[in-house]
Structure 1
Amino acid sequence: MDKVIREEIKLALASAPRNSFIAELHLQSIKYADELVNITAREFCEELDLKPSYGTEFSKMRNLTTRLKAAGLVTEKI
Structure 2
Amino acid sequence: MSNKAIFKQIKQAFAEAPRNQHTAELHLQMIKFADELKHITAKEFCEEMGLKQSQGTEFSKMRNLTARIKATGLNTELI
User: Normalization by structure 2: what TM-score?
Assistant: 0.94
- State the Cα distance separating 1:42 from its structure 2 match: 0.4
For residues 51 and 21 of structure 2, the distance between their equivalents in structure 1, rounded to whole angstroms, comes to 15
The structure 1 segments of at least 4 consecutive aligned residues displaced by more than 3 Å after TM superposition are none
Structure 2 runs not aligned, ≥5 long: none
Aligned-residue Cα RMSD (Å) equals: 1.0
The number of residues matched between the two structures is 78
TM-score under structure 1 normalisation?
Answer: 0.95
Alignment of 1:39-58 (within 5 A): 39-58=40-59
Is there any run of 5+ residues in structure 1 with no aligned partner, and where? none
Note the alpha carbon deviations across 1:5-61, whole angstroms, 9 max, x for none: 010000011111111111001000000000000111000000111111111111101
Task: Quote the sequence identity (%).
Answer: 67
